[in-house]
Amino acid sequence: MIEYGAKLTASLQIEFVRASQVSPDIQKIIDQLDQLAFAGQDAEKDTNEWASSDWMVLGRVDGEIVTQLGLLKHEIHVGVVPVLVGGIGGVATHPVWQRRGLSSALMRAAAQFMQTKLNVLFGLLVCANETQPFYARLGWKTVAAELWFTENEKRRPMQTAVMILALSNHEWPEGEINLCGLPW
């Protein structure tokens, strides 16, 4: 568990839990947090099926889960180059706890985990255009490339911002991005 205290009245404890080991009670809390955090977004427009996370990164204040994100390790293709990435998805903070640096602390911890435990060269996330500045402040870069995913054996484009985080000194390859599966 990692503890962060910046911008908080209480410390943030961060834990990495294999998604397969998340209890039904914790999953219910995660689902409720997602609903609260994404309440303003139109769920009817989101008809995509999403990839399952390998890990859940949970942030607790005084024992209560107030922020979370999903993390997976996945091989994608950029142009013709296979690239092993750490995928970030479902970054959510309870509205009462937003704008206090909690998601930033979670994202930094996830970046360190991707680099040291998952041994990937890049992090990759998709996000709404309005959240790009948040991720950019954490070192994520928007890549100008097409994004494709596969759902029900059909290759489909995804119209969203795609951002990467370099976790090594390797250069991001040129070309369209194929997630080689579902988006996250």
Query: Looking at this protein, which amino acid is placed at residue 112?
Result: Q
Structure tokens at 106: 């979670």
Confidence bin at 41 (pLDDT 50/70/90): low
The answer on pLDDT for 39 being more than 90 is no
**Residue ranges with strand state E in the chain:** 2-4, 12-18, 55-61, 64-78, 81-93, 122-127, 141-142, 147-151, 154-157, 161-166, 177-178
User: For residue 81, which phi and psi values (nearest 5 degrees)?
Assistant: -95, 125
pLDDT for residue 45: 53
93-104 mean pLDDT: 94
pLDDT for residue 6: 43
pLDDT for residue 4: 46
Whole-angstrom distance, CA of residue 133 vs CA of residue 15: 26
- Give 115-152 as a 3 state SS string: HHCCCCCEEEEEECHHHHHHHHHCCCEECCCCEEEEEC
In order of 61, 128, 148, 157, 176, the CA distances from 160 in angstroms are 32, 6, 10, 9, 13
Taking a C-beta distance cutoff of 8 angstroms, is the pair 68, 57 a contact? yes
pTM: 0.89
Whole-angstrom distance, CA of residue 10 vs CA of residue 5: 7
Whole-angstrom distance, CA of residue 178 vs CA of residue 77: 5
Whole-angstrom distance, CA of residue 49 vs CA of residue 158: 12
The answer on pLDDT for 15 being more than 60 is yes
Coil/strand/helix, residue 74: strand
Question: Going from the N-terminus, what domains does the chain have, and what CATH number goes with each?
Answer: 2-178 (3.40.630.30)
Give the rounded percent of residues in the chain with a pLDDT score beyond 90. Answer: 81
Confidence bin at 46 (pLDDT 50/70/90): low
pLDDT tens, position by position, 120-153: 999 999 998 899 999 999 999 999 777 999 999 9
